[in-house]
Amino acid sequence: MKKKPEPRNITKAEISLETRNGKNVIKKDYRTRNFLVRIYGRFTLRNEARAYTRLAGLEGIPHFHGFEGTQAIVLEYIPSRTLKGIPRGTIPVQVFDKLDELVSKIHSRGVAVSDLHGSNILLTEEGGVYIVDFANAFFARTPENPGFIVRFFMQLDRHAATRIRARYLKLQEPEPQGLFGSLYKAGRLLKKASRKIRRH
């Protein structure tokens, strides 16, 4: 069994690369975390399982192999690099077109990622684009009528994808508009304030 680097913080699962029935898989495991984080992990893993199940069959979404106990899930291993680990200005525009298309397909299944960033976007050597980590996903009862909250997070996904495109292609970043823009800016201010409080 090969282990990947340690989690970014104590709230994250331990990620390991393992071999099952001759195939490589990724195990996302909270069993080594403290009691409170394990409770949190159990909730987020259920959320992820729900997302992977709803998105099953979509190109760009790893296959979900299921739970291992209540505090670990097993996923298809995708040989790839995270977008975050690739220098800006070196990625063709087609990659971001594929990202936009994948985000649209995820939304068509009634799922909002809500936390799309360079660390959960994977790029394969063949130019494939994958999205992983649905711990913070939101779900619509029906994809045709997602409701205000899920619709907001879907718009947040689209804005995040547009910002990512702008950063990596060295374009001007978009300015969010309307009600979404106001809520987005308020959320950013709250996030900054929270960071300052934690530092003190």
* More confident: 178 or 134: 134
Dig out the tokens for 198 from the structure.
Answer: 């934690």
Which stretch of DSSP H or E encloses residue 17? strand 14-20
Mean of pLDDT values over 175-190: 80
Write the pLDDT tens digit of every residue in 78-88: 999 999 999 99
CATH architecture assignment, domain 80-192: Orthogonal Bundle (1.10)
Average the pLDDT over 24-39 and give the result.
93
pLDDT in tens, 119-149: 999 999 999 999 999 999 999 999 889 999 9
Q: What is the pLDDT of residues 5-31, one digit of tens each?
A: 455 556 789 999 999 989 999 999 999
pLDDT at residue 112 in the model: 98
What pLDDT, on a 0 to 100 scale, did the predictor assign at position 5?
45
Average pLDDT over residues 83-98: 94
Exposure string for 183-196, b = 16+ CB within 10 A, e = fewer = ebeeeeeeeeeeee
Average confidence (pLDDT) over 94-99? 98
> Is the separation of the CB atoms in 108 and 142 below 8 Å?
no
Q: What's this model's pTM, rounded to 2 decimal places?
A: 0.87
Structure tokens at 181: 């823009």
What's residue 194's pLDDT? 55
The CATH H-level (homologous superfamily) assignment of domain 1-77 is Phosphorylase Kinase; domain 1 (3.30.200.20)
Mean per-residue pLDDT of the chain: 89
User: For the chain, what are the domain ranges?
Assistant: 1-77, 80-192
